[in-house]
């Protein structure tokens, strides 16, 4: 997957109408900024940038930010890659991703070849993992790890469900307010 394609697909689905500002927001969220939309102001007479931005992405000239969307882009610079790997923050990134509207979410999944009906957190975590994969490469081309990240998340959920069911499958587990939970041939009955 090419970085310019990846960032372009994201830009189409997030509610930000300016490529330069979108880069400020998503990269600062990726690196720990709790409020990337309000913190990064890049217009009019006001310029403010998150302290969480990697070196080289701030400043009033947004040409380097917009260049990330261009075909032939060589990917992230070394300072940006090192900053992402050093300051990656899943929580702030997932919170920022919640800005994708419910109506755009199926399109986002489709853009990356992911199945409809996936949990938003699973998809946003897969996007986070893809960012990290790009941070590990130096030429703007990275393996597509999004489906693997989705599969890993689903396997983890399946293991948790199996563990919980195993506990229940040992027989009656309790009585609360006259509701008795027990298993009969592997089925839960109340």
Q: What percent of the chain has pLDDT over 90?
A: 51
**CA distances for 110 relative to 4, 53, 106, angstroms:** 17, 29, 6
184: pLDDT strictly greater than 60: no
**d(C-alpha 40, C-alpha 62), whole Å:** 12
Better-predicted residue by pLDDT, 54 or 175: 54
Round the average pLDDT of the chain to a whole number and report it.
Answer: 82
Please check the confidence at residue 169 and state whether its pLDDT lies above 60: no
**DSSP H or E segment with residue 183:** strand 179-184
At 2, is the secondary structure helix, strand, or coil?
strand
Higher confidence at residue 106 or residue 190? Answer: 106
What pLDDT was estimated at residue 112? Answer: 96
**pLDDT, position 72:** 82
Please give the share of the chain, as a percent, with pLDDT higher than 70.
77
Report pLDDT for 128. 96
What integer is the mean pLDDT of 160-175? Answer: 48
Helix ranges restricted to H, 14-145: 19-30, 36-39, 63-67, 78-87, 90-97, 105-111, 120-135
More confident: 161 or 14: 14
Tokens of 92: 């702030």
Q: Give residue 136's pLDDT.
A: 95
């Amino acid at each position: 997957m090419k970085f310019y394609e990846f960032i372009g697909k994201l830009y189409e689905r997030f509610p930000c109408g300016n490529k330069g500002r979108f880069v400020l927001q998503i990269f600062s969220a990726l690196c720990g900024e709790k409020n990337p939309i309000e913190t990064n102001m890049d217009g009019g007479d006001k310029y403010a940038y998150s302290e969480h931005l990697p070196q080289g992405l701030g400043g009033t000239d947004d040409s380097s930010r917009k260049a990330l969307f261009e075909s032939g882009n060589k990917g992230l610079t070394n300072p940006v890659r090192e900053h992402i790997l050093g300051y990656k923050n899943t929580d702030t990134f997932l919170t920022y991703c919640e800005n994708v509207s419910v109506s755009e979410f199926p399109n986002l999944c489709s853009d990356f070849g992911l199945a409809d009906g996936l949990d938003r957190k699973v998809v946003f975590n897969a996007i986070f993992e893809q960012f990290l994969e790009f941070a590990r490469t130096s030429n703007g081309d990275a393996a597509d790890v999004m489906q693997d990240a989705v599969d890993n998340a689903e396997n983890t959920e399946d293991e948790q469900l199996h563990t919980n069911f195993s506990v229940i499958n040992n027989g009656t587990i309790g009585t609360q307010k006259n509701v008795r939970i027990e298993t009969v041939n592997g089925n839960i009955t109340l």
